A and B are shown apart, each in its own frame.
Chain A
Amino acid sequence: MSVTHVELPASSHIHPPPDTFIKKYVFSLDHKVIAIQYFITAGLFLVFAGLLAELMRVQLMGPNNHVLSVAVFNQAYSLHGTAMVWLVGIPIVTGAFGNLIMPVQIGARDVAFPWLNMLSFWMLPVAGILVFASLLFGAPQAGWTEYPPVSLQLPLGESLSLWCAGVFVIGVSSTITGLNFLVTIVKMRAPGMTYTRMPLFVWATGVTAFLSMIATANLSAALAGLFIQHNFGVPFYDVTRGGAPVLWQHVFWFYSHPAVYILILPAFGIVSEVIPTFVRRPIFGYKAIAYSSAAIGLLSFMVWAHHMFTSGLQHWEQLFFMLLTMVIAVPTGIKIFSWVTTLWRGKIRLDSPLLFVLGFLSTFTLGGITGVMLASVPADAQEHASYFVVAHIHYVLFGGTIFGIFAGLYYWWPKMTGRMLDERLGKWHFWLMYIFFNLTFLPMHWAGLMGMPRRVATYDPMFAGTNLFVSISSFVLAASILIFIYNAYRSARYGEPAGPNPWGARTLEWMIPSPMPYYNFRDVPIVLSGPYDYGKPLPYANISQDLAMTPVR
């Protein structure tokens, strides 16, 4: 490395760190503190939403159960879906991981608009309170999709306004986070950090930011329509007065299909970071993985109506959306094949982050295959709105996003807190979660194909055995999260100090102390080549050399 130190221009001065508790921990402008705020808040919502799911599984343990009333059951699944998508999934993969890692990985000292970042975060608790407060007044019951006209009808829609307001607020938060991240990635990369030298997590976060920024406005529009019809009677979705119920579906899914990729692309990014680190070799097909993220992002705007194959589309529409939906499987496949190939001839260390990634690849593959089955219009006739879809969505969003989130947590926990998590507990957590995830959701495919619709509080007795099995598995699945919570507590009390780079990784966040100091980099780093060339000298200048070692735990 010939370049060792470069004098910085005078403009890169450092603000003094905040000195009061409120400025430091509550209304913080520091992207790392905001990330932790996102983790804690969304983590709480994850627990609530998970408990709602377990409530449903208790009701579904047998046919004609009366543990919950039908209304409470409907509220449980509606808020479970709402919270998991908007209050848990999107905030964690963008707000939490994006904030924690993306600015450091591009060598920046913060995001482009720290104040907007703080505003984005504070919309999350507001949205969460609005959505969960609806439980006090009779929460909406028509599922997280809230299809009108049924969602507008009393008593189902008693507090639909609260729900609309909550989701609207988190939508605005997501939009401005997208804007913030996109500007950060475009404008604030360290010298030498060309687009093809960016870590793949940054690629994924960039595409996600673009999707959040463009797509979420459509959700806001759909919600505004629902809110206005509910409160002021303007009949956007009322067919008897010139509206159309299917209009909601189109606008909603025009957002919500890209939203699926908002949920999964950052998890793809996490996978792309964890694999080379624990396999000790360059990632296979860097450019293919990066460009396929962009391709997925673009295609995700053109497939929304595959959620509506049974809603009476024209035949050419069905062909169009079927074809593009199938096409989107190709870049996704390229990613998976590239990741698997990266394992070939590595020096693999099977630590818990990599275990979660392997679990991700294993389960997400099945979710991808069932996704293609759902894309075929005639096959979809049997699968749509049944437990097959429930299984599919959990294979991609639990088997995908949640496994990705845990991979990222185990991977970056030392960086975030400065302490290690317990490896044995991590392995227990992984194996329990992996096994009981599959035992919970695999049988649902079968129930769905045999004719069990979703969103029902009771079912044909022929599904009794399957549902009892699923319910019991789901209780163990939920319990496996307790291991992580205990592990986090244990790490805070007794965790061994992590040091700057416990995994011997090569991206920029590992070149600075753990936890990351205020303003991240004393000197702005200079990037000389890509981040995954294991075995070669580090591709950075202006990094203090004692930290840039690559010790392996």
Chain B
Amino acid sequence: MKLEQREPLLDSGFWRAVAVMTVISIVLMVGVVVFPVEKYLPEAANISKPIDDLFKFCAFFGAPIFVFINGFLLYFSIRYRRRPDEPIDAVGSEIHEHHGLEVTWTIIPSLLMIVLAVLSYLVIPMYYPTNQAFASAVTLEAIGHKFYYEFRYPGLKQSVMNELHLPIGVPVTVDLTSAEDEQDVHNGAVIHSFWVPEFRVKQDMIPGIVIPIHFTPSEIGMYRIVCSEFCGLGHSHMWGKVIVQTRAEFDAWYADQQRAAASPIAAPLSLAGGNPSAGQTIFNAKCTVCHNAAPFAQRKVGPGLAQLFDDPDHPDLVTGKKATPDNVADILEHGAHGDMGVMPNMQANGLTPKDVADLVAYLRTLR
């Protein structure tokens, strides 16, 4: 490469631009290191911090790459603009290769990628149990349904719906899968996803496969469970809660659950004394996820319920029974499978017998 210019190829302006970009990069890189992630999103499990650190690793080296590419784009396109006094067919430098430079920008990113891959691979065993090392962990089952989560604890006869209670500091393995009662293609199980953003845990729940995922809750609080895999009309509303408690609180809750299992509700539901305004509150909080308080045709997941007891076009309920208060209460208690989807039962919806009575009373006022 023969060069005739007297001025150096990389002039002082170039080095000034590099200096500015270096300063901006260092500021950003320091910013990445000190950024308090947990202030914006709690790091509520043991694996949260390692995962955030991997993200920060990418951001730490991504920042200078971003700054230098954009900085050079800006600097070169201003610095080397054709000036009005230059001939219209002026051409730029003839230099079109530089092996040292090209080898450098091949090797350095390759090394970074290898380091990132190794660091990532070291984190994977932290949340996927690979062997018997996690035999000591408590194993729970989580089952995705349309559109709620069912959790099964060892030693509890009944499942817990939508609320995952966990004691702090106890390693857990959650076996994830997805299932429905109906096995035909139109109502069968679909893929859900179990995502707790505050834990940095996300795992698909796939019908027919059980996938274990492993973590230790490390911060007391209530966190979201979000379904991140499209699962049907109720997907937008498929939310659960994780409640991380102290060991004592958890034990108390667990004991409550055992007692509840021992004394099942013997008495049939009574609709007497239903309070319409209490029912309206429950309806707005829970039922509006899938139903409008509007005529039948204004459906969300299920039909509009405004004329439930007084609709000449739909005299029968989804169960095939007449639209009477008792039959509606039956659906609220046991759920239903229909052509529009699945109505979860009382337990899944977190309703008490009193709630059912209130809801029926409210629905009757809509006539």
User: Please, which residues of chain B bring their CB within 8 A of the CB of A534?
Assistant: 91-92
Q: Is B318 an interface residue (CB 8 A)?
A: no
Within the complex, what minimum Cβ distance (angstroms) separates A94 from chain B? 27
Given A315-B128, A343-B77, A344-B80, A281 and B91 contact (CB-CB distance below 8 Å): yes
Q: Is A329 an interface residue (CB 8 A)?
A: yes
Q: Is the CB of A279 within 8 A of B92?
A: yes
User: Given contacts A281-B94, A334-B105, A535-B94, is CB(A378)–CB(B124) below 8 Å?
Assistant: yes
What's the Cα separation between A239 and B180 when bound, in Å? 12
Which residues of chain B in 69-126 are interfacial with respect to chain A, using CB atoms and an 8 Å cutoff? 69-70, 72-73, 76-77, 80-82, 86, 88-98, 101-102, 105-106, 109-110, 113-114, 116-117, 119-121, 123-126
B46 at the interface (CB under 8 A from A): no
Point out the residues of chain B lying under 8 angstroms from A460, CB to CB. Answer: 224
CB-based contact B93/A346 at 8 Å: yes
Contacts of A513 in B (CB 8 A): none
Interface residues in A253-297 by Cβ distance below 8 A to B read 279-288
Does A57 lie at the interface of the complex (its beta carbon under 8 Å from any beta carbon of B)?
no
B240 to chain A, nearest CB (A): 13
A149-B189, A455-B230 as given contacts; A347 in contact with B121, CB under 8 Å? no
| Chain A residues positioned under 8 Å from B336 (CB to CB) | none
C-alpha spacing A379/B200, complex, angstroms: 8
A544 within 8 A of B: no
Give the size of the chain A interface in residues (CB under 8 angstroms). Answer: 97
Q: From residue 206 to 225 of chain B, which have CB atoms closer than 8 A to chain A?
A: 206-209, 211, 224
Q: Are B106 and A330 in contact (CB under 8 A)?
A: yes
Q: Which residue on A lies nearest to B299, using beta carbons?
A: A69
In Å, the complex CA distance between A71 and B193 comes to 20
Q: Within the complex, what minimum Cβ distance (angstroms) separates B15 from chain A?
A: 13
In the bound assembly, the distance between CA atoms of A384 and B204 in angstroms comes to 10
Whether the pair B93, A344 counts as a contact (CB closer than 8 A) is yes
Q: Contact: A330 with B96, CB < 8 Å? A: no
Complex alpha-carbon distance, A147 and B189, angstroms:
13
Which of B41, B59, B207 interacts with A451 by CB under 8 Å? B41
Q: Which of A141, A369, A378, A552 has the most CB of B within 10 A?
A: A378
Q: Does B295 contact A (CB under 8 A)?
A: no
How close is B341's CB to chain A, nearest CB, in angstroms? Answer: 9
Bound together, the chains give a CA A524 to CA B121 distance in angstroms of 56
Cβ-defined contact, A284 with B95, below 8 A:
yes
Q: Are A240 and B188 in contact (CB under 8 A)?
A: yes
A458 lies within 8 A of B236 (CB): yes
Which residues from chain B contact A533 at a C-beta distance below 8 Å? 94
Nearest A residue to B47 via CB reads: A378
Tell me whether B228 and A454 are in contact (CB under 8 A): yes
A386 on the interface (CB 8 Å rule)?
yes
Q: Known A347-B90, A350-B81; judge A455-B235 contact (CB<8 A).
A: yes
Whose C-beta in chain B lies nearest to the C-beta of A283? B96
A340 near B117: Cβ-Cβ < 8 Å:
no
Q: Measured between alpha carbons, how far is A381 from B81 in the docked complex, in Å?
A: 45
Contact indicator B190/A311 (Cβ below 8 Å)? no
Q: How far is the CB of B32 from chain A (nearest CB, A)?
A: 12
Given the interface pairs A372-B116, A378-B124, the reply to whether A310 lies near B203 with Cβ below 8 Å is yes
Interface residues of B in 260-302 (CB under 8 A from A): 299-301
Task: Give Cα A329 to B41, complex, Å.
Answer: 29
Of all chain B residues, which has the CB nearest A153?
B186
Cβ-closest chain B residue relative to A362: B70
Q: Is the CB of A286 within 8 A of B96?
A: yes
Tell me whether B91 and A347 are in contact (CB under 8 A): yes
Q: How far is the CA of A318 from the CA of B94 in the complex (A)?
A: 45
- Nearest chain A CB to B233's CB is how many angstroms away? 5
Chain B interface residue count, Cβ-Cβ cutoff 8 angstroms = 93
Interface membership of A312, Cβ < 8 A: yes
Contact in complex: A345, B93 (CB < 8 Å): yes
* Interfacial chain B residues near A454, Cβ < 8 Å: 228
C-alpha spacing A366/B127, complex, angstroms = 28
Q: Is the CB of A361 within 8 A of B73?
A: yes
B186–A312 touching, CB < 8 Å: no
B348 within 8 Å of A (CB atoms)? no
A154 at interface, CB cutoff 8 A = yes
Chain B residues, CB < 8 A from A386: 195, 228
Assuming the A-B contacts A245-B207, A381-B200, A451-B224, are A358 and B300 also in contact, with contact meaning beta carbons closer than 8 angstroms in the complex? no
Given the interface pairs A238-B185, A238-B188, the reply to whether A381 lies near B105 with Cβ below 8 Å is no
- Contact present for B80 and A346 (CB under 8 Å): yes
- Complexed CA–CA distance, A552 and B90 (Å): 10
Interface residues of B in 44-68 (CB under 8 A from A): 47, 50-51, 54-55, 58-59, 62, 65-66
Nearest-CB residue, chain B, relative to A451: B197
Is A378 within 8 A of B232, CB to CB?
no
Name the contact of B233 in the complex, choosing from A149, A156, A338, A532 (C-beta under 8 A): A156
- Which residue from chain B places its CB closest to the CB of A308 in the assembled complex? B204
Contact with A along B134-174 (1 / 0, CB 8 A): 00000000000000000000000000000000000000000
Tell me, in angstroms, the Cα distance from A373 to B197 when the chains sit together.
16
List of B residues within 8 angstroms of A287 by Cβ: 97
With CB as the reference atom, state the residue of chain B lying closest to A146. B230
Q: Which residue of A lies closest to B113 (CB)?
A: A326
Contact B121 A322 (CB under 8 A): yes
Judge whether B188 and A149 touch: CB under 8 Å. Answer: yes
Is residue A142 within 8 Å, beta carbon to beta carbon, of the partner chain? yes
B181-202 interface bits toward A, Cβ cutoff 8 Å, 1 = contact, 0 = none? 0010111111101010110111
CB of B339 closer than 8 Å to a CB of A: yes
CB distance from A220 to the nearest CB of B (A): 22
The yes or no answer to B24 lying at the interface (CB within 8 A) is no
**Interface residue A341 (Cβ < 8 Å from any Cβ of B):** yes
Closest to A279 in B: B92
**CA of A450 to CA of B198 in the docked complex: distance in angstroms?**
8
Complex contacts, A283 vs chain B, CB 8 Å: 96
Could you list 6 A-B pairs, sorted by A, with CB under 8 Å? A330-B109, A340-B73, A345-B93, A347-B81, A381-B51, A384-B202
Besides the contacts A358-B73, A385-B228, A453-B193, what 9 more A-B pairs have beta carbons closer than 8 Å?
Answer: A235-B185, A285-B97, A330-B109, A366-B66, A451-B41, A451-B197, A451-B224, A453-B195, A460-B224
3 closest A-B pairs by CB: A239-B208, A451-B197, A281-B92
